[in-house]
Structure 1
């Protein structure tokens, strides 16, 4: 059974093709009918001119009777008149219609050539021609040729019958052809539709044979199969994301509940209770930061994360961040250096830019050891502002580098609390840089530290 698309495609093509066929058949039919009628009229006139030629050579009773006798065995009739319109010889009885035609056309033709005097084959009983008889320059009479209109109508009817048969055969052939073509075109589309319905129901492990085609349907099949793979990847990422969120939420909540139970014991000393309350506070802050980061990512996904860029001297912003973090770095005995030419400017949101640098420095500090150095530098490159944050930590394995900006991804698969962080910081950094029309990349190898490279719009009129 044809599907809806097949019906629509077939109907549109059928209507269009039938209109074209009707126009072509109409023109062809009209021309053929006209040619057939003209052929009959020309033949009748030629026969009359032939009789006229004989009579002009011998205009006597014997010849007149001979001409009339010849037409008695033919489908046509002849009537020969003198110059006064009197009938000299005839092959048929002069009916009222014939008499009327003779009276209307007698004496009117003074030319030496014949002509058609009646061509209304649809309504008149006869078609007729007139051929003047001229002997030595003197008009001697006229040869009237008559043919029943039925002969012309029979030719036209036969032609019409043939056209109807051919037309019906053409329509039938058109329907069959359209049926085959629409099925050939729409069956792959129907298969693709069924595949997308399976995808909408959650099935993403699909394989389409149409990907081997070298046409638009093949390209569409490739696109759908690629979409299915992307959906499978997104589904896996969503499941991992939910599992990671559950883990990240469960860990601080477990600590808070456990230490709250311990702190509530009456036998606990004040010093121990203060210690456990401090841990509860730290875990609460960790939980608060996690929720805050999740809300920030949600706003980014919904395009509700506001970025208000302006022309900023990056050295000033970097200096503010470093001054805020110096006590923390000194406590861990990690050196923090800034290398920034004063002329470096960027088209950034100052608050969001500082948030990016804070995240990167916090991440670098967590992976640095005492005595290490973290360097922040900036420079201009081809009208862009480039900021680098480099540490001397343990580095990141090369196989992990493509995933470090993924949400809740951490190189430390054990998720030990010593490594800190929730795995959202770098994801937020990447989104903020993207919203600035910038790019962030990372270079790292085990034992040689890590360098984050930020490329931002720089100079004037970049908004």
Structure 2
């Protein structure tokens, strides 16, 4: 992450430095040109002022006065006649004036004057010319000169200021980018550390996430992943412990009773009893392995269901007729109520497995003489199937966990009841594969309601879990 912070900061720095360079260069060129143009305009305006005075009073005393004024200024003046002959001039300017004035084409000089020497980079002076016109005729010209050293000095100062500001800007840019890249990468560093912990099996990762930006969303995703992995690890350990327990108990029975049945001194009647127990435990293990195989296929997303349009009432009536004798044997009532013309798309074999499991649970955990009912009704776009019993019920503390694998409300009934603790979990997976949901409500000691909700109008023929 240090490398990422450096690369990110370097990338920002290059982009910002490039932008600053372009902006500073543009600003520098603009300011330099503006200042130089300002110098030209001021020099031309000074020459025009002298020209205006001379046009009003063209006398030797006035000409001398103009030259005397410029002798105390940073500029110099040269006054010529109409043919370019020098009449009056400031000190030290005469050599440069004699060189420049003959090369000036006075025919193109307007009354407002013009710059006749603008090469401030190579020449020692810049110059302007303003014509003196009286009575419609040109009497002469006022040439103004200014040393380019002053312009060069101004440019040097401007360069110095820009250099200082540029260095300060680069320094502040580096500090700002370093801070910002650090701020940006700190959450990434923490996320990297968190993922390293996750890779080592430490799921106790807690990230302090603030905001709703992409980094915050990534942090929340890692936090959610950590919680899910922690939950899955706990579930896996509990699952393996439950499988170990479920297999160890019947295997202990099988091994123990097989050892007794092998004794030659045992009577045949007693041997048959032990063999019967061994057979029951083998059946229990067979059912457990079958349920585990079903769950394994669901977890691997290879559990396939084949839906088809099914008249629900007719389908449930067949299940009712199949289960009715078992309820009669236990002196219990099985009631069936269903509206006509309800069609759902289900895998009949898988859904029959769900209904048989729920009805078998109701039969096991209900008292003799009680009633179990199957009720079907429409709710908007859904179909609700409710299996109700008047049995022992489920304690409120256990109700949220009844669909978890190997969870049993009454642990003491696990052997006598013959269940594996997987039936409701498998039923939940099958119902959800149909796009539905299953839930439970119960009052302890009064009974339980298992509620299945299925969608209508599902035209899919094939579906897969996941």
Residue 418 of structure 2 corresponds to which residue in structure 1?
420
Residue 369 of structure 2 corresponds to which residue in structure 1?
371
Residue 35 of structure 1 corresponds to which residue in structure 2?
34
**Structure 1 alignment gaps of length 5 or more:** none
Q: TM-score when scaled to structure 2?
A: 0.89
Bigger mean CA offset, 165-174 vs 256-265? 256-265
Residue 88 of structure 2 corresponds to which residue in structure 1?
89
CA contact under 8 A between 1:346 and 1:384: conserved in structure 2? no
The alignment partner of 1:142 has SS state of strand
Q: How far 1:64 sits from its partner (Å)? A: 3.8
The alignment partner of 1:418 has SS state of helix
**Structure 2 alignment gaps of length 5 or more:** 462-466
CA contact under 8 A between 1:252 and 1:287: conserved in structure 2? yes
Residue 282 of structure 1 corresponds to which residue in structure 2?
280
The alignment partner of 2:408 has SS state of coil
Residue 55 of structure 1 corresponds to which residue in structure 2?
54
CA contact under 8 A between 1:308 and 1:348: conserved in structure 2? yes
CA contact under 8 A between 1:367 and 1:419: conserved in structure 2? no
Bigger mean CA offset, 59-68 vs 283-292? 59-68
The alignment partner of 1:307 has SS state of strand
The alignment partner of 1:132 has SS state of strand
Distance of 1:243 and 1:259 partners within structure 2: 24
RMSD, matched Cα: 2.7
Q: How far 1:417 sits from its partner (Å)? A: 0.8
Residue 236 of structure 1 corresponds to which residue in structure 2?
234
Distance of 2:279 and 2:242 partners within structure 1: 22
Q: How far 1:21 sits from its partner (Å)? A: 2.4
Residue 2 of structure 2 corresponds to which residue in structure 1?
3
Residue 121 of structure 1 corresponds to which residue in structure 2?
120
Q: How far 1:24 sits from its partner (Å)? A: 2.8
The alignment partner of 1:284 has SS state of helix
Q: 1:382 to 1:50 in 2, by over 3 A?
A: closer
**Alignment match of 1:353 (pick from 351, 354, 357):** 351
Distance of 2:106 and 2:31 partners within structure 1: 34
CA contact under 8 A between 1:52 and 1:132: conserved in structure 2? yes
Alignment deviations for residues 279-325 of structure 1 (CA, whole Å, 9 cap, x no partner): 22222222122111112112212221112222101223223333433
Distance of 1:125 and 1:41 partners within structure 2: 14
Q: TM-score when scaled to structure 1?
A: 0.89
Alignment deviations for residues 181-211 of structure 1 (CA, whole Å, 9 cap, x no partner): 3333432442343234323323333555x35
CA contact under 8 A between 2:76 and 2:93: conserved in structure 1? no
Residue 435 of structure 1 corresponds to which residue in structure 2?
433
Bigger mean CA offset, 170-179 vs 403-412? 170-179
| Residue 175 (structure 2) pairs with residue 176 (structure 1) | yes
Alignment deviations for residues 214-237 of structure 1 (CA, whole Å, 9 cap, x no partner): 665777666655554444333322
Q: 1:452 to 1:123 in 2, by over 3 A?
A: same
Q: How far 1:31 sits from its partner (Å)? A: 2.2
CA contact under 8 A between 1:384 and 1:459: conserved in structure 2? no
CA contact under 8 A between 2:357 and 2:424: conserved in structure 1? yes
Alignment deviations for residues 249-298 of structure 1 (CA, whole Å, 9 cap, x no partner): 11222222222222323333443333333322222222122111112112
The alignment partner of 2:39 has SS state of helix
Q: Which runs of 4+ in 1 moved over 6 A?
A: 217-220
Q: What does 1:323-338 align with in structure 2 at a 5 Å threshold?
A: 323-338=321-336
Q: What does 1:179-328 align with in structure 2 at a 5 Å threshold?
A: 179-208=178-207, 210=208, 213=210, 216=213, 225=223, 227-328=225-326
Bigger mean CA offset, 42-51 vs 158-167? 42-51
Distance of 1:226 and 1:65 partners within structure 2: 94
CA contact under 8 A between 1:361 and 1:389: conserved in structure 2? yes
Distance of 1:259 and 1:332 partners within structure 2: 30
Distance of 1:160 and 1:49 partners within structure 2: 32
Q: 1:93 to 1:438 in 2, by over 3 A?
A: closer
Residue 464 of structure 2 corresponds to which residue in structure 1?
none
